[in-house]
Amino acid sequence: MSGKNTRTRRIVVLGALSTIAEAVARRYAAEGAEMVLAARNAERLGQLKDDLTARGSARALAWPVDLAALDDVPAELARMAEALGGEVDAVLLFYGTLGDQKLAEKDSAELRRIMAVNFASAAEWCVAAADVLERQDHGVLLAVSSVAGDRGRQSNYLYGAAKAGLAVLVEGLGHRLAAGGGRAVVIKLGFVDTAMTAHIEKGGPLWAKPDAIAQQLVRIIDKPRRPVIYLPWFWRPIMAVIRNIPSSIFHRTKL
């Protein structure tokens, strides 16, 4: 976190109850940042708010809302910005759902949910955020995507497709903002040991700790050099290899 930035930072956290979001919010709280914490569960948001306040946040606002079920996203974001005093330094989008692929193949409601949460609603938030950053001529939009979006696989192509869509969208917003002071970054996360992956057998060098990821994210938000970033970095070469495996071989795997 840059010590040069003397003004208190103002941050909007979408999906604040995610493990990684909370780890990021704690780092900002330690430097006194003001935050809007948006997620569905009001009781848990209250606990987060108390914790972040104790850790040094000048203002932590619990913002209970279903981010994937809003009629007017730009208006909601405007209210958040207003609550923070008008300007935002960063909009961070963490929310998402793995969904149940097997169920979604039979049940279109689950399919729609996976797409709405991971892509459709996220797209609205990202575009709304880009508008704000463009107007301010300042600030960073960071959205969390996944390496699952780099190649379609039989086990999670719906989640992967939604996250791939989000990545392209944010990459495009990065292009759109490039001429001005705002920035947009999409993070392609590899395996992280979080609540979302709690059911998966872990261990081995590929699994990253949420706090290590949070540390990198804070650095990226400080200096967003590229619009697409793999975390941890080694997923870039890994995915380059995976994308280039001929389908004659790839289709024989159970991935």
Partner 1 sequence: MGSFRNRQFSPWGRIGRAEHCIARPRFRDEVPRTLADCGDHDVLPVGLGRSYGDTVLNSGKYLLDMTGLDRIIAFDRDAGVLRAEAGLSLDAALGVIVPAGWYFATTPGTRFVTLGGAVANDVHGKNHHSAGSIGCSVRRIGLLRSDGGEVELDRQSRGDLFRATIGGLGLTGIITWVELDLVRIPSADLIVEQIPFDNVAGFFELAAASQSHEHTVAWLDCANRGRALGRGIFQRADWSGQGALVAHATGQKVTLGFDLPSVALNGLTMRAFNALYWRVQKAKPTLARRHYAQFFYPLDAIGQWNHLYGRRGFYQYQCVIPPEAAESAVTELLLQITAAGAGSFLAVLKTFGRRGSPGLLSFPREGATLALDFPNRGAVTLRLLACLDAIVLEAGGRLYPAKDGRIPAHVFRASFAQGLETFVDQIDPAFNSDFWRRVST
Which positions touch partner 1 (CB under 8 A)? 19, 30, 41, 43-44, 47-48, 50-51, 54-56, 195, 198-199, 201
For residue 196, the minimal CB distance to partner 1 (Å) is 11
Say if residues 226 and 182 touch (Cβ distance below 8 Å): no
Cα separation of 146 and 157, whole Å?
Answer: 12
For residue 136, the minimal CB distance to partner 1 (Å) is 32
Burial class (CB in 10 A: 0-12, 13-18, 19+), 216: middle
For residue 228, the minimal CB distance to partner 1 (Å) is 28
Residue 44 or residue 79: which is nearer to partner 1 going by CB?
A: 44
Cα separation of 54 and 52, whole Å?
Answer: 5
The H-assigned helical ranges of the chain are: 19-30, 42-54, 73-83, 101-106, 108-115, 121-136, 157-177, 210-222, 235-243, 247-250
Residue 15 or residue 165: which is nearer to partner 1 going by CB?
A: 15
Backbone angles phi, psi at 16, to 5 degrees: -65, -20
Closest CA to 93 of 195, 21, 188, 182: 21
Q: Helix or strand or coil: residue 147?
A: helix
For residue 128, the minimal CB distance to partner 1 (Å) is 29
For residue 201, the minimal CB distance to partner 1 (Å) is 8
